[in-house]
Copies of this chain bind each other. A is one copy, B any other.
Amino acid sequence: MKPTLYSYWRSSCSYRVRIALNFKEVEYEYRPVHLVNDGGEHKKSEFTELNPKQEVPFFIHGSHSLSQSMAILQYIDDQWPQPELFPKDAKLKSQCLQLCEIINSGIQPIQNLKVMSVIGKRYNADEKEKASWSRYWIVEGFKALEKELEKTSGHFSIKDTVTVADLFLVPQCYNAKRFKIDLENEYPKIFKVYKNCFELEEFRRALPEVQPDAPDKNPV
């Protein structure tokens, strides 16, 4: 049963799931959903019927379908247990989830495309102001993330083994770079883990720019 991932090349939450599927060596069907073109394909009835939250990632495996990257990652880890992406030790697992959620609930939801669009409409925010808004929330979150990584990180976010925390960190760094945040000098621990992850081809193959729907591959 080959699963299907509805993804958008630049969606950081889809990026998390792509990395997980690479680690688990799961073959999957990639279905692009363009969040910008034509008012957003995620708002069309075809996709809305599948996922009323109108968001990617959206994951289908047999008769089971899921939105929310954290739920999808947990399901993937349960279905394809090797390599483990959640620490077994309760303390490490909770630290790992804390790092994930600093990003998953503390940064990404406030700086994403949807919120920027509403700020544009409600407050006439232009592109510069929207970018400033996003930068503000990434910086707020990264200050805390950097401090936590001082306690937990080794080669990766949790010591020297890849965990889901890295699957959240790398895509959030991608967003940070889009908004011109200087990771290397401002957040050395975050930058170190980010750099180390790209030693692994599982992270490289999940990069936005190499996805089937990236604009270099599908020029509009």
Contact = CB atoms under 8 A, between A and B. Distances in A.
Interface of A: 52-53, 55, 64, 66-72, 74-75, 78-79, 90-91, 93-95, 97-98, 100-102, 104-106, 108-110, 115, 118-119, 122-123, 125, 133, 136, 141, 143-144, 147-148
A104 B109 CA distance: 10
A24 to B, nearest CB: 14
A79 B74 contact: no
Given A68-B105, A105-B108, 19 more contacts: A52-B143, A52-B144, A52-B148, A55-B106, A64-B94, A66-B94, A70-B70, A70-B97, A74-B94, A75-B90, A75-B91, A75-B93, A78-B90, A78-B94, A104-B105, A109-B110, A110-B110, A110-B115, A122-B123
A220 to B, nearest CB: 28
A16 to B, nearest CB: 12
Contact of A101 (B70, B94, B141, B143): B70
Contacts of A147: 52
Nearest to A59: B94
Given A52-B143, A53-B144, A104-B101, A91 B70 contact: no
A123 B132 CA distance: 13
A122 B133 contact: yes
Given A75-B90, A78-B90, A79-B90, A53 B102 contact: yes
A69 B101 CA distance: 9
Counting chain B CB atoms within 10 Å of each CB, which of A109, A147, A148 scores highest?
A: A109
A66 B98 contact: yes
Contacts of A141: 53
B97 A71 contact: yes
Given A79-B90, A133-B122, A98 B68 contact: yes
A200 to B, nearest CB: 25
Task: Give the top 4 A-B pairs by smallest Cβ distance, nearest first.
Answer: A75-B94, A78-B90, A71-B97, A68-B101
B71 A101 contact: yes
A136 to B, nearest CB: 7
Nearest to A115: B110
